[in-house]
Structure 1
Amino acid sequence: MGERTVQEINGKQPVFVTVYDKLYEMLTDGTYPVGKALPPEPKLAGLLDVSRETLRKALRLLEEDGLLQKVKGKGNFVMDLNKPMVSSLEKLGNPIHKCIQVPLDEEVEMEMHLQESGDYEHKLFKRESQTALAVDRWYRSNGKIVAYTLTLAPIETFTSLGLDLANKSAMLDFFENRVYELATRSHLKVKTTWVGRFISDRYVLNEDEELTLIHENLYTEDEFKLLIHNKHYIIPEACSIEINAT
């Protein structure tokens, strides 16, 4: 079990740890190939001669250790341990593309609108900007929405760069790529939220389970000059976050 400390009970390891070890062996020796789903839980519990609760404990540990990915409504899929490590968050770059572990559809749906800045925007931007640009972006995998980003930015960010707000493709490229080339630093905060039903008026991302939420502020060399503020909402089953600290 890698570095996991096994808690012993009366001199014996818990049954779910034994199940973990057995499944680990089956996953790594190819009994259940990479990319394929394990048998349904009732069948798998029967094959291993354990209760479903015991099996679920072992499956949760395997998921934590990166050997399985649970896909809601579809099952537990075997992950590739030899797959290159995901892009990490200690370098500037779009967290959506760094953290999502499923193939994203090429098209990103985007809507933009101007709004009057209020007290929240003034505090966020640290300037008395009269107008803010609000941007919604939806990301899909095989047609299913797996992430949503809300962007807020002072209008001065775009006027100073000479960006044409009517050029939708150029604006999308700015939010997805160019802003990370212009920024000199970012501040990220990761948490969970239950607001999947309410994050946008158009779609429900995930109404019954928590979402991973990444707050992101992008700055220029002037520490107090905010370029844009992003709130990235990602369904947990599609998200993996890596940070390499030195």
Structure 2
Amino acid sequence: METKTDKSKTKKLKHVKIYNELYELIQNGTYEPGSQLPSETTLSATMNVSRMTLRKALTLLREDGLIKDVQGVGHFVREPKTAGSRGRKHARKAGSADAEDSASDETLSSDGSMTHPVHDYCQEELDSVELDFRIEPPSKSILDNFDHYTAAVVIVDRWYKHEGHTIAYSLSFIPIELVGRLQIDLNSTDALLEFLEHTCYEQGHHCSRCVTYSTAGNFSAKNYKLSSHDSFLMTQENVYDENEEILVVSKHYIPAEVFELKFSI
């Protein structure tokens, strides 16, 4: 039987708060591209958090392509990535790293339709999904991903299970105005799950995906441990409508040992 951790919707994860603070400091130029961040000891003292909490926040910044590590030296702010299409811009903004660490493209399945990355890329047969959600004001990083203002976001966690064990995790953000426009019934977790698992792909025009190596899967999943290892493939995904507006922004974590990506060329 899996052990579940605290699932309070009101408890703000400390490392996410620190991530948001550092994100804003990078975006407003306090830490300029190419500059070195203060040492972990200095940052943790300045931000009044433990080294472990700080390192989780730094892991997310690295996962999102905002910083890089130079072994034995420290953490450096990355130069902004240039991008071609709008879809690629969003994928890069939210989850790119060096070429050897990630792959990014605008995606359709082999039969021409979009499908859920966890179902596409996980080798294990998934037999159940647990869902939880909350509504919060958007952080700057979320607004930057949407590329437009929204008053609030629906933040949805999903844990994917195989024979009672959680082996994959998805975190999704939906603009609140989209919930009203598409009449997504938030009183029904089944309706919300149906939208995220199927409807958004059926109604979406296209999506962008960036697959990146990550060590954040276990602590990002919060309620359950996904793997005994800390090696994950994280798929950053944006689903767009025909007007190039984002329907959903998601991160999908799959342990490296059960991840499989197939190409049809």
| TM-score calculated relative to the size of structure 2 | 0.56
Matched, 1:160 2:159: no
Question: Is 1:180 aligned to 2:218, yes or no?
Answer: no
Secondary structure (helix, strand or coil) at the match of 1:127 reads: coil
Give the aligned partner of residue 104 of structure 1. 126
Matched ranges for 1:24-173 at <5 A: 91-105=113-127, 107-173=128-194
1:244 lines up with 2:255 in the alignment: no
* Distance apart, 1:88 and its partner CA: 5.1
For residues 166 and 89 of structure 1, the distance between their equivalents in structure 2, rounded to whole angstroms, comes to 34
Partner of 1:217: 238
Which residue of structure 1 lines up, in the alignment, with residue 222 of structure 2?
Answer: 201
Q: How many residues align?
A: 157
Secondary structure of the 2:120 match is helix
**TM-score, with length taken from structure 1:** 0.60
CA RMSD of aligned residues (A): 1.7
Measured after TM superposition, the shift of residue 220 of structure 1 is 0.3
Structure number with greater CO (CA < 8 Å, separation at least 6) is: 2
- Per the alignment, residue 212 of structure 2 pairs with 191
Q: Distance in 1 between the 2:217 and 2:130 partners?
A: 17
Task: State whether residues 218 and 230 of structure 2, in contact with CA within 8 Å, keep that contact through their aligned partners in structure 1.
Answer: no
| 1:55 equivalent in structure 2 | none
Q: Distance in 1 between matches of 2:121 and 2:111?
A: 8
Contact 1:188 1:215 in 2 (8 A): yes
Distance, in Å, in 2 between the alignment partners of 1:150 and 1:89 is 26
Opposite residue 99 of structure 1, the aligned amino acid is Y
Cα offset, 1:243, TM superposition: 2.2
Q: Deviations over 1:82-133 (max 9, x none)?
A: xxxxx7597411111111122111x210001001112112111111101001
In the TM superposition, structure 1's runs of 4+ consecutive aligned residues that sit over 2 Å from their partners are 87-91, 206-209
Identity of aligned residues (%): 30
Q: Quick one: distance in 2 between partners of 1:89 and 1:151?
A: 25
**Cα deviations by residue, 1:47-66 (Å, 9 ceiling, x for unpaired):** xxxxxxxxxxxxxxxxxxxx
Give the deviation of 1:237 after TM superposition. Answer: 1.9
Other-structure match for 1:52: none
